[in-house]
Structure 1
């Protein structure tokens, strides 16, 4: 029986690369999107064109009742789950003084609350021996006051990983976090500035900016049987940034 994965935020950027990579491994992929249905359908079409299987699911994870609606729609398409990738996230660089209560609540709703309840409500669907991969961030390894709330939400995700790994171990379910550094995606549109891109590349030991496939390949490893003896781990996938 082929495995089925749900990739949140799977229509663009890192999530799209993860969806495509898992599909190449023979996994059936539920491609979640927050608002860009066109991009999600394109990702599904690309997976199918390559011989894989996928379907799209839409839900604004920052809205009330979104998790329940997402799982209800998922159940229409699939019977059970093998891999959950909590990739969806939002953020923009804001200093402490710029943060409003509404923005604070929005970031925690999408980046921390949604993954928690996706797991809570998804456990009845997740098969024994399954995989949960949380997409964190390298900003939890260094001081990052330029986006303090975003960093806080990713820190919460790290703690969630540890607790879930302990709780779900008896079922053979692994839970790990991959933590990207600066990756060339729409979310990091500021990289279009050559000077900014050059400065960002200099952070990495390799002298370049990360690409979505750099992250997707590591997620695919954690989603595979080869990672069966690894759980509760936070893995830096930043190209050796700020060593």
Structure 2
């Protein structure tokens, strides 16, 4: 999935990925200082050369590469004793660049999100990747009803086009507004657990959803407004 595809995907709505290349100038200078004789090459000279590499971040300026090589190779004859040519060239052509990746949700870095919001981000990524069946236990934990509806419902509806999704939930929005094909209601009474299954259109199932699940009435109102249908609950 390329950037345009995932940015338009419902699973990735409000989720953004950023990557930055970072040059470790400190390490470059420290290694160079360890290799070169300080009487011949000052730290400030190594720092000056490092600026060519730092300037390459985000660009493809080959002139800076040429300038870096020309200047840094002038240090070859200034090595400390017991420093070999191999050590010198390993420093010159070593990797001092790293890729730093960040995940943001609604423009907020993942480290600053609540536990529930962090779980939402990871869940949306799981929903978007792969096509094998997925079993999810109470994805609404630590999240309010409105957030669940806005952040997760569309993601589930999009993901179920390509994979089977089974959700154990107490949240009506995740049952009703994800257009679940099959609903299984579990009840505990007189020491026994019983199950009843059916579609959302089944009147008894709808009554159970309204009675047992958090936000049942609100979930059906949203669904009925979306599809412009009359409520069946009162029937």
Q: Same fold (TM over 0.5)?
A: no
Q: Structure 1-normalised TM-score?
A: 0.28
TM-score by length of 2: 0.29
Which of the two has higher C-alpha Rg?
2
